[in-house]
Amino acid sequence: MTFNSDTEHSSASRCGYVAIVGRPNVGKSTLLNHILGQKISITSRKPQTTRNAVVGIKTEGDVQIIFVDTPGMHLGQQKAINRYMNKAATSAMKDVDVVVFVVDRFIWTEEDEAVAEKLQHVGCPIILAVNKVDQIEDKETLLPHLQVLSEKLSVAEIVPMSALRNTNLDRLETLITERLPEGIHMYPEDQITDRSSRFMAAEIVREKITRQLGDELPYEMAVEIEEFKQEGNLLNISALILVERDGQKKILIGDKGARIKLIGTEARVDMEKLFEMKIMLKLWVKVKSGWSDDERALRSLGYNEF
């Protein structure tokens, strides 16, 4: 597995960028992980789990697809962190070769409408991926709904699918590949993301917190890697977890430290799978009031791509 390798050029027939967009919680990150067969984008049932645009690279033979998993585009919440996420998603739609617009079954919201409006201005083919069709009991209702969507949106193709069940993902990949330009591969064939190992470690910790405390701990939580040092087959990682209030810190630590210990155990298991070595993980919790609405604090935490 390779992270942040130097770009390596080789002869290839097709290579291009594909943005995966949609409102929060429609399954964009799950879709990327299942296409890659490797978990690089964190997931939870909590909306807005993805905060950064995460690149996932799939190379098969003469085809290299560079996917960009984006934060869910959302309305209403106007903190600096929310503005950052919306900007990351909008920016990802520029200069790509294909856009995959993910929606959730029969559900169509104001946020879906807002995404659709933004897509009117992209100059590349759009594939509409109707996700979670495995949860539709009466499959006969699907075809009329797809017809309604085709009238609502100007898209190249509509693909009913289930990211979680791997249903119709091969069809989606085929449609994407057909629309990629001819060109050389931009990454080595064994590279699966352009993100650093430190970034991936921080995201794993944040996923475990979000999954355990999604309803109790709101979005005012961030993870910063303070130590990332390899000694032989042992990787020492120290992660600082930032929250905004003392009450959030108490919830995160739990009774006699039980909650933070469980988060650390679950994160370490995933890190050992990802980095393929033994992990020594230390977690710290610190209160930093107002960080999620502070532009300077966000930049210091790595939310500085624009």
Is 37 flagged in the annotation as binding? no
Alpha-carbon gap, residue 148 to 302, rounded angstroms: 41
Is 73 flagged in the annotation as binding? yes
Is 71 flagged in the annotation as binding? yes
Is 28 flagged in the annotation as binding? yes
Is 218 flagged in the annotation as binding? no
Is 125 flagged in the annotation as binding? no
Is 25 flagged in the annotation as binding? yes
Is 27 flagged in the annotation as binding? yes
Structure tokens that stand for 101 in this block: 């617009």
CB-based contacts of 198, cutoff 8 Å, min separation 6: 225, 228
Alpha-carbon gap, residue 124 to 101, rounded angstroms: 12
Is 160 flagged in the annotation as binding? no
Structure tokens that stand for 9 in this block: 């050029």
Alpha-carbon gap, residue 253 to 282, rounded angstroms: 13
Is 29 flagged in the annotation as binding? yes
Alpha-carbon gap, residue 43 to 25, rounded angstroms: 9
Is 70 flagged in the annotation as binding? yes
Alpha-carbon gap, residue 56 to 18, rounded angstroms: 10
Is 152 flagged in the annotation as binding? no
Is 131 flagged in the annotation as binding? yes
Residues annotated within the binding site are 22-29, 69-73, 131-134
Residues annotated within the binding site for GTP are 22-29, 69-73, 131-134
